[in-house]
């Protein structure tokens, strides 16, 4: 018994000592995490000797909140959506980040002007702009392929299972736009009880044909396995499946949902200094441009845009695949972070009740 204890404590002690020179970074897994590892983690480790441990979560905001509230924080840095960054900051769960510490653009433009609008928050710094889009299996619809958000809800013209993110956010806006609401008015409509009913009624029309997913890596897999013929998902994941793995998918660039991903640091992060170092390093102009080499997400700095070129295969131009490409911005739904920061809990509750009924 005694030996057991000694051995165990030795194990714990080594695990504990090792954490001094590493940071735990939580992100969304799959192709997206790979792009971050290539563009940020590896060069950062080489430069500083600080080990970056990459952890996957369906949505990093939830384990972060759970950890801070349970008083057991092991996350140093997390990649979260804009509304979650604002909400977590409002709830006092994040370390404030002073934008003055961020490096300026190569031409000397200060970070506060170099980042696109909304990319710098009180407790968060954006790294990418990304879109939630619909993708479909081209082999299933060889003629007259679907082209609009409304087609996603048209089971007669395009029969087959649909994949949908199991969350109120994005599903409800998508449903409203497909139902004819102008993208600019989505949040006015969704702010009313009638609007919520209308979104759920629209979702009701396909409810029996939906396969729900949780993690960002699932939708391309569901398409590839033939479990669904059409699904929503993150544009970079589909890009990866189409270009890197050669899957017969295509993206419907109608009514895509634009959002930021931002770095945040939880209150009580075990390695605050290391996390700040990493945050400064990974959001400089070159690093943000580098990431676009591995996945089709737009960099959050204006100065990075001209540096974006080819995909890592050396022959695919990234421009047309970017969610921010003007061609792809038809009917774009821009997320209203304050709306979701305020209403996420309420609408999720409604959505779950609807889901279970």
Hey, what are 59's tokens?
A: 């949505």
Q: What's the closest the beta carbon of residue 302 comes to another protein, in angstroms?
A: 29
Is 137:230 a contact under the CB 8 Å cutoff?
yes
Is 176:199 a contact under the CB 8 Å cutoff?
yes
| Look-up of token digits 């737009």 | 298
Residue 250, classed as helix, strand or coil, is strand
Q: What is the C-alpha separation between 182 and 79, in angstroms, rounded?
A: 30
Residue 199, classed as helix, strand or coil, is helix
Is 352:200 a contact under the CB 8 Å cutoff?
no
Measured from the CB atom, is 30 or 298 closer to another protein? 30
Hey, what are 266's tokens?
A: 């939880």
Measured from the CB atom, is 9 or 112 closer to another protein? 9
Residue 171, classed as helix, strand or coil, is helix
Q: Note the Cα 232 to chain centre separation in Å.
A: 13
Which secondary structure element, helix H or strand E, spans residue 275, and what is its range? helix 272-282
Q: What's the closest the beta carbon of residue 65 comes to another protein, in angstroms?
A: 6
Measured from the CB atom, is 299 or 337 closer to another protein? 337
Q: What's the closest the beta carbon of residue 105 comes to another protein, in angstroms?
A: 32
Q: What is the C-alpha separation between 305 and 319, in angstroms, rounded?
A: 10
Neighbours of 118 (CB within 10 A): 16
Measured from the CB atom, is 211 or 244 closer to another protein? 211
Give me the residues that bind another protein (CB under 8 A), please: 1, 4, 7-9, 11-13, 15-16, 24, 29-30, 53, 55-56, 62-63, 65-66, 69-72, 74, 87, 89-92, 161, 166, 193, 210-212, 214-215, 217-218, 221, 225-227, 338, 341-343, 345-346, 348-350, 352-357
Q: What's the closest the beta carbon of residue 55 comes to another protein, in angstroms?
A: 5
Measured from the CB atom, is 95 or 331 closer to another protein? 95
Measured from the CB atom, is 177 or 217 closer to another protein? 217
Q: What's the closest the beta carbon of residue 88 comes to another protein, in angstroms?
A: 8
Tell me which residue of 32, 60, 25 sits closest to 220, measured CA to CA: 32
Is 19:247 a contact under the CB 8 Å cutoff?
no
Q: What's the closest the beta carbon of residue 46 comes to another protein, in angstroms?
A: 12
Measured from the CB atom, is 330 or 350 closer to another protein? 350
Q: What's the closest the beta carbon of residue 177 comes to another protein, in angstroms?
A: 22
């Amino acid at each position: 018994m005694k030996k057991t204890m000694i051995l165990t404590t030795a194990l714990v002690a080594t695990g504990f000592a090792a954490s001094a020179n590493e940071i735990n970074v939580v992100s969304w897994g799959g192709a997206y995490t790979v792009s971050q590892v290539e563009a940020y983690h590896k060069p950062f480790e080489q430069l500083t000797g600080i080990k970056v441990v990459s952890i996957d979560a369906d949505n990093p905001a939830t384990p972060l909140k759970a950890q801070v509230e349970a008083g057991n924080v092991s996350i140093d840095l997390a990649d979260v959506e804009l509304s979650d960054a604002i909400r977590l900051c409002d709830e006092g769960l994040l370390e404030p980040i002073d934008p003055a510490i961020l490096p300026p653009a190569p031409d000397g433009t200060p970070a506060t002007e170099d980042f696109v609008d909304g990319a710098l928050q009180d407790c968060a710094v954006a790294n990418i702009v990304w879109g939630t889009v619909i993708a479909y299996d081209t082999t299933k619809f060889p003629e007259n392929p679907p082209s609009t958000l409304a087609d996603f809800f048209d089971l007669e013209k395009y029969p087959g299972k649909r994949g949908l993110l199991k969350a109120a956010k994005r599903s409800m806006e998508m449903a409203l736009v497909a139902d004819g609401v102008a993208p600019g008015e989505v949040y006015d409509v969704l702010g009313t009880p009638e609007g919520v009913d209308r979104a759920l009624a629209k979702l009701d029309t396909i409810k029996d044909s939906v396969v729900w997913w949780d993690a960002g890596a699932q939708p391309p897999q569901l398409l590839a396995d033939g479990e669904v013929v059409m699904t929503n998902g993150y544009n970079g994941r589909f890009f990866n499946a189409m270009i890197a793995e050669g899957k017969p998918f295509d993206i419907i660039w109608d009514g895509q949902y634009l959002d930021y991903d931002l770095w945040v640091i939880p209150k009580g992060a075990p390695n605050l200094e290391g996390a700040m170092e990493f945050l400064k390093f990974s959001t400089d102009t070159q690093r943000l441009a580098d990431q676009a080499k591995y996945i089709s997400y737009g960099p959050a700095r204006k100065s990075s845009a001209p540096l974006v070129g080819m995909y890592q295969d050396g022959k695919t131009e990234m421009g047309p695949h970017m969610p921010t490409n003007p061609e792809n911005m038809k009917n774009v739904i821009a997320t209203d972070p304050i709306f979701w920061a305020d209403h996420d809990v309420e609408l999720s509750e409604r959505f779950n009740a609807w889901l279970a009924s």
